[in-house]
Amino acid sequence: MTILPQARAMSRNELKSFRAAGLDPVFFDSTSDNQLSFLKLTVLGNDWILDNIYKDHDFDDVPNNQLVELAEKTFRLTYGLEKEVKNS
């Protein structure tokens, strides 16, 4: 069983590299004919996060759903979107 690293926000430099790779969905333009589909952009962005932010970890045998969760949490933390949800 592989223990996943704790999710963390990307640094400014890491975020600039993420954007330079054209993978930041914040800049997704659904009206452009040359843009990737949003789902494809998300998948490629998640792979980039795992390969570049957590490059010291071997994820080869980790279930994909766990990796998607780690990458998406990293993105949310980077933009300050990770808020505690309270049960009512």
Per-residue pLDDT reduced to its tens digit, 44-61: 999 999 999 999 999 999
Q: No. of H helices and E strands in the chain?
A: 3, 0
CB-side exposure of 86: number of CA atoms within 13 Å? 1
Smallest Cα–Cα separation from 47: which of 60, 35, 34?
60
CA distances from 81 to 2, 56, 73, 77 (A): 27, 25, 9, 6
Q: What is the pLDDT of residue 36?
A: 67
Flag whether the pTM goes above 0.85.
no
Which position has the higher pLDDT, 85 or 53?
Answer: 53
- Note whether 42 and 64 are within 8 A (CB): no
Which position has the higher pLDDT, 1 or 58?
Answer: 58
State the average pLDDT over residues 63-80.
Answer: 96
